[in-house]
Amino acid sequence: MADAPKPKEKSKISSARRLGLKIRLLTVAGQMLEVETEEKKREREEALAERVPPLKLSGLSVDELMDLCKDLHRKIDVVDEERYDVGLKVTKTDKECHELGLKIIELQSKFKKPSLKRVKISAEMMLSVLLGSKHKETIDFKSNLKTVKKAEEKKEEVTDWRQNVDAMSGMEGRKKMFDA
């Protein structure tokens, strides 16, 4: 009786209260999402400020400006080289993933299960194929099968309908119908 299904218990919280709780949860989740996006923006700005300091161009001579431009060009070249290398790695891994996907599809198509066809073969032939030279004696499988006796259906005797009408006429005929 431990496996008997338990009747579904009615919720102790009303539907209005449940709806109110859902609304409150959604508003709190929305507020948390807003705080998280603002925090990500702030972290991004801090990282950019740390990596790229603001340029101080006022009070610089032409030679100093030229040196600053050359320095910025070198930094841009380094960043472009890194970006190019990362792009190549990404395209290479994408290509490998695509090739592996094709290999998987190819392997799956090779090992499709064939549709089996019905083959008429006798039990003797089957045993000779399975056992090979070891199979010498013949076995009659049909004799080992159990015989099932079918219950014979009760057939109503066909009688003359006129006799049936005479027997069922009157009150005694109706009494026979109720007794049967």
Rounded mean pLDDT of 144-169?
A: 65
Q: Residue 117 carries which side chain, given as an amino acid letter?
A: K
CB 157 within 8 A of CB 139: no
Question: Is residue 31 a part of any domain in this protein?
Answer: yes
- Identify the weakest region by mean pLDDT among 54-68, 104-118, 119-133, 136-150: 136-150
Bigger pLDDT: 142 vs 78: 78
> 136 lies in a domain?
no
pLDDT digits (tens, 9 = 90+) for 105-133: 888 877 767 778 887 877 777 777 777 76
Total number of domains constituting the chain: 2
Task: Give the helix/strand (H/E) hosting 53.
Answer: none
Cα separation, 102 vs 96, in Å, equals: 10
The mean pLDDT of the chain is 80
Please give the model's pTM, rounded to 2 decimal places.
0.35
Q: What percent of the chain has pLDDT over 70?
A: 69
With contact defined as beta carbons under 8 Å apart, do 85 and 93 qualify? no
Domain of residue 34 covers 16-54
H or E stretch including 135?
A: none
Same domain, yes or no: 108 and 61: yes
Average pLDDT over residues 150-157: 62
Instruction: List Cβ neighbours of 138 (8 Å cut-off, separation of 6 or more).
Output: 124
Q: Over 60: is that where the pLDDT of 66 sits?
A: yes
How far apart are the C-alpha atoms of 144 and 126, rounded to whole Å?
17
Q: Tell me: do 28 and 46 sit in the same domain.
A: yes
Domain co-membership, 77 together with 40: no
Please report whether residue 104 resides in a domain: yes
Query: Is 87 found in the same domain as 49?
Result: no
pLDDT band at 5 (very low <50, low <70, confident <90, very high): low
1 band by pLDDT with thresholds 50, 70 and 90: very low
Whether 50 is in a domain gets the answer yes
Q: Which tokens is 75 given?
A: 């930094």
Is there a domain that residue 130 lies in?
no
Bigger pLDDT: 32 or 162? 32
